[in-house]
Amino acid sequence: MENYRKTSHATYDLKYHIVWITKYRKLVLNGKIGDRTRELVRQVCKTNEVEILAGHVGKDHIHLLVSVPPHLSVSKLVQYIKGYTSRKLLLEHKELQKQYWGNHLWARGYFAATTGNITDEIIMQYIQNQEIEELQHTDNFSVGDKL
- Read off the pLDDT of residues 8-21 as tens digits, 9 standing for 90 and up: 899 999 999 999 99
Per residue in 63-86, pLDDT tens? 999 999 999 999 999 999 999 999
Q: Where exactly are the structural domains of the chain? A: 11-116, 119-147
- Average pLDDT score over residue span 34-63: 94
* C-alpha to C-alpha distances, 35 to 12, 17, 18, 23, 39, nearest whole angstrom: 31, 20, 19, 19, 6
pTM of the predicted model as reported, rounded to 2 decimal places: 0.81
Q: Which of 69, 74, 94 is nearest to 20 (CA)?
A: 74
Enter the CATH code of domain 11-116: 3.30.70.1290
Residues paired with 27 in a beta bridge: none
Distance CA 17, CA 53 (A): 10
The size of the chain, in residues, is 147
